[in-house]
Amino acid sequence: MYRVLISIIALIMLTAVPAAAESGGNKTEKEAVIIEVDGNPSEHKSYFNTYHPYIEVVHTYDTLFNGLALKAKPDRFEQIESLEFIKAVHPVAEYETQSEQVEPLNQNENSVIPAALNDTSYTGKGVQVAVIDTGIDYEHPDLAENYAGGYDLVDLDDDPMETTAEEGLPTQHGTHVAGIIAADGKLQGVAPDADIYAYRALGPGGRGTSVQVIAALEQAVDDGADVINLSLGNSVNGPDFPTSAAVNRAQDLGVPVVIANGNNGPENWTIGSPATAADALSVGATSNPQTVPYLFDSLSNKKIPLTEMDGSKPWDLGKSYDMAVFKGQNVQGKIALMKRGKTPFSELAKQAEEAGAVAAVIYNNEKGLFRGRISNNKKSINIPIASISKQAGEWLMQNTQNKNLYMETKEATTKQTIADFSSRGPVTVNWDLKPGVSAPGTNILSTVPGGYQELQGTSMAAPHVTGAMALLMEAHPNWSVKQLTGALKTTAKRIRNKQGEPFAPIIQGAGEIQPEKAINTKTIIDKSLLSFGKVTDNNKTKTQHVTIENQSDQKQTYTFSIPEKQKGMTWRLPQSFTLEKGETKKLQVELDVNSRQIEEGLHQGWLTLNGENQKFHLPYLFINKTADYPRAMGFQFSLKPFSDDMYTYQFYLSEKAESVAVTLYNPDTLMYERTLLRRDDVKVGLNEGQLEQSELGEPGQYLAVINVKLNDGRMAGYQTKIFIPRSQSPG
């Protein structure tokens, strides 16, 4: 049996658990919860069966974490609140319903079809792929044939269907991910003959808790899946967050893990858990070449790039049109120019169309570009809508004053690049180099409930890698997890920027995967991403080990290229060496760093290993003294389960600190309100605690500033918004 591969979604939030009705005339609905426990879960199951027979123990977890899945009426759960062996409870939450737009299979020149990545003769046949996500629409004609089963960790039953409008905020993410991996119909996935097993860990609105995710991981491992797709994560950049720890435990059990890197780029240090797991294969997103429109003014030779909004008509204007600032007036036969604000894009577009515009552009109200969406659910919008930068919008505003400005539509073809949204590494605390590899993540056309749709994100990149892993598993059923992931990294192609230089390792990892080359590689390098950690001494020698395996049927000779001389850095690399057929050799790579001769911060680059007829590029990094990584992150605040007046909080620290204080400010005036909490007993990693309702102060929306006093006396921190609710106690 193949083992499980994991590729992971976007954000772990509060869980949403639609309830299941009890039999008989009682209309009270059951709640489904997962609890974490101390001690032996099987013994606690017996305890519930004996002393709480009205609470149904649906499942016992003891592979990746200790816990029980329970179902009961809400009032039954009140009886177990005081049980000392219960560490944490993950209960029901409610969400509003919302309709979704579903699009037909309508490929355009910029659509990326998942099957395009498969340049091999393999199809993933016989490989069992587990998709941990929002569930899937297993009745979709492109997925029904390959769907083989699964489990719902939200409702705790055997029906992992996507959330429907009747159950809450509907979802589509898991269906899109599953289609990228193994759709087999009008649309083809990367591995169209793979078997799909769905594990619904995220409920209405795509929300769930880390425990649902961990439980789904355990369920998939116990079910003997070969490949798990987990396209989810959070914003905590630390290697030991609970989901990351669970991924590493799964890896120890022979489960290769592929995880979406996150969509918080383009800044460094934005990768989140569980992609931060040391043993996981995290995936960044590439942007394929695209034909994109732009506006051109021949008199000033001005080009203005357009970002077509999702759901919009294609921007294919055949002639030049006058540009007009739109303020509700008649703009018959013109391109309407509008500023982004509080009005929904769809409403702005409809206003422009009703005023006679042939098209509309909406310019940003802050620095940078943005990608909006036009919804055609209620009122059909039949003109193209695009977004532009604030700078471009202001130029158009200035040049349309008291004169006509005729803009021509032209097209340009972009080069392959790294998507701006793709989160960057490295990981804090252990300074691992992430992502591991990259894959297509923009304009990905795949299945959604009732149809097809283009989506983008590292959530779309990761299942490309999952599908590729299925191809490798079919081609090499006896390869180990290290060989499978090593082959993908060894043969990855580096993506280059406009200047022709490869993007930094923390942006692309080893590069974009190439399945055919991975399957046929004659060399496999294990641990090819070299992280030398943090240098704190003036002179320090750092060591990493790399394993080279000769997969060919004849001996091969390898040699490292001598790196370009850099002040403060001295490399000691293995000399030329030869591996016999099938031989594996462990090599030592040493780096001497004189921290006084180089700048503080993050340093990275590439080493080159020369084979017989091929060059292999090994990315490396180290931190000199310190860097601009986040010291605190992941502050969360919520009502404690089974309680009316007790609240729990948590935050994550990436560095030793003396104390942490959370202060509240008025979000409108930024005036100081009060200090919510202060902690002196803090540690590196996850910190948790509780607050009573009486300690919270006045309810309302606040700007929370998390201030960290580091051990060396420096201050660090960040800010986020929180909501202090009113007391839920009676009276």
Report the alpha-carbon distance of residue 130 to residue 128 in Å, rounded: 7
Which carries the bigger pLDDT value, residue 269 or residue 369? 269
Average pLDDT, integer, range 713-722: 90
Residue 729, pLDDT score? 59
Report the alpha-carbon distance of residue 426 to residue 117 in Å, rounded: 27
Residues 112-142 have pLDDT tens digits of 999 999 999 999 999 999 999 999 999 999 9
Candidates 3.40.50.620, 2.60.40.10, 2.60.40.420, 3.40.1710.10; CATH matching 632-724: 2.60.40.10
Q: Where are the beta strands (DSSP E) in 394-508?
A: 406-413, 417-418, 437-440, 444-448, 451-455
Nearest to 394 by CA among 367, 420, 412, 374: 367
Residue 97, pLDDT score? 28
Tell me if domain 522-624 and domain 632-724 are identical in fold: yes
The greatest distance separating any two alpha carbons of the chain, rounded to the nearest whole angstrom, comes to 85
CB neighbourhood size of 222 (10 A): 15
Q: Helix, strand, or coil here: 360? A: strand
Question: What kind of architecture, by CATH, is found in domain 522-624?
Answer: Sandwich (2.60)
Confidence check: pLDDT of 608 > 50: yes
Can you tell me which residue has the tokens 């804090």? 428
Average pLDDT, integer, range 267-272: 93
Provide the percentage of residues in the chain whose pLDDT is more than 90.
62
Residue 4, pLDDT score? 37
Q: How confident is the model at residue 440 (pLDDT cuts 50, 70, 90)?
A: very high
* DSSP-derived secondary structure for 568-626: TEEEE----EEE-TT-EEEEEEEEEEETTSS-SEEEEEEEEEE-SS-EEEEEEEEEES-
Average pLDDT, integer, range 172-197: 97
CATH superfamily membership of 114-287+419-490 = Peptidase S8/S53 domain (3.40.50.200)
Residue 271, pLDDT score? 94
Residue 265, pLDDT score? 87
- The answer to whether 464 is a known catalytic residue is no
Lowest mean pLDDT among 28-42, 87-101, 623-637: 87-101
**Residue 329 neighbours by CB under 8 Å, 6+ apart:** 355
Nearest to 592 by CA among 624, 619, 615: 624
Lowest mean pLDDT among 103-117, 350-364, 706-720: 103-117
Residue 238, pLDDT score? 87
Residue 582, pLDDT score? 94
**Residue 328 neighbours by CB under 8 Å, 6+ apart:** 351, 355
- Going by their DSSP bridges, the two strands 227-230 and 258-260 should be labelled as parallel
Per-state percent for the chain, helix, strand, coil, to nearest 5: 15, 35, 50
Confidence check: pLDDT of 21 > 60: no
Candidates 3.50.30.30, 3.60.21.10, 3.40.50.720, 3.40.80.10; CATH matching 291-413: 3.50.30.30
Confidence check: pLDDT of 107 > 80: no
- Going by their DSSP bridges, the two strands 195-200 and 147-152 should be labelled as parallel
First to last CA, the chain: 59
C-alpha distances (whole Å) from 17 to each of 91, 203, 207, 239, 502 are 7, 6, 9, 28, 45
Which carries the bigger pLDDT value, residue 403 or residue 605? 605
* Helices 242-252 and 210-222, packing angle to 10 deg: 10
Residue 10, pLDDT score? 35
Average pLDDT, integer, range 227-252: 85
Report the alpha-carbon distance of residue 281 to residue 279 in Å, rounded: 7
Lowest mean pLDDT among 93-97, 195-199, 303-307, 666-670: 93-97
- The answer to whether 159 is a known catalytic residue is no
Confidence check: pLDDT of 78 > 80: no
Confidence check: pLDDT of 59 > 60: yes
Q: Helix, strand, or coil here: 8? A: coil
Residue 90, pLDDT score? 60
Residue 242, pLDDT score? 78
Residue 458, pLDDT score? 95
Confidence check: pLDDT of 102 > 50: no
Q: Helix, strand, or coil here: 47? A: helix
Residue spans of the domains in the chain: they are 20-79, 114-287+419-490, 291-413, 522-624, 632-724
Report the alpha-carbon distance of residue 371 to residue 106 in Å, rounded: 20
- What the block records as the tokens of 25 is 């005339």
Confidence check: pLDDT of 91 > 80: no
Confidence check: pLDDT of 103 > 60: no
In terms of Cβ atoms closer than 10 Å to its own Cβ (0-12, 13-18, 19+), residue 76 is middle
Residue 8, pLDDT score? 34
Confidence check: pLDDT of 7 > 90: no
Q: CB–CB of 291/411 below 8 Å?
A: yes
Question: Which segments of 105-196 does DSSP mark as H helices, in order?
Answer: 173-182
Q: Which one from 133, 279, 297, 432 is the annotated catalytic residue? A: 133
- The answer to whether 62 is a known catalytic residue is no
Q: Which one from 423, 459, 531, 654 is the annotated catalytic residue? A: 459
Confidence check: pLDDT of 707 > 80: yes
Q: How far is CA 591 from the centre of its chain?
A: 32
Report the alpha-carbon distance of residue 302 to residue 411 in Å, rounded: 14
Average pLDDT, integer, range 669-694: 91
Q: Which one from 59, 90, 140, 173 is the annotated catalytic residue? A: 173
Nearest to 529 by CA among 549, 513, 506: 506
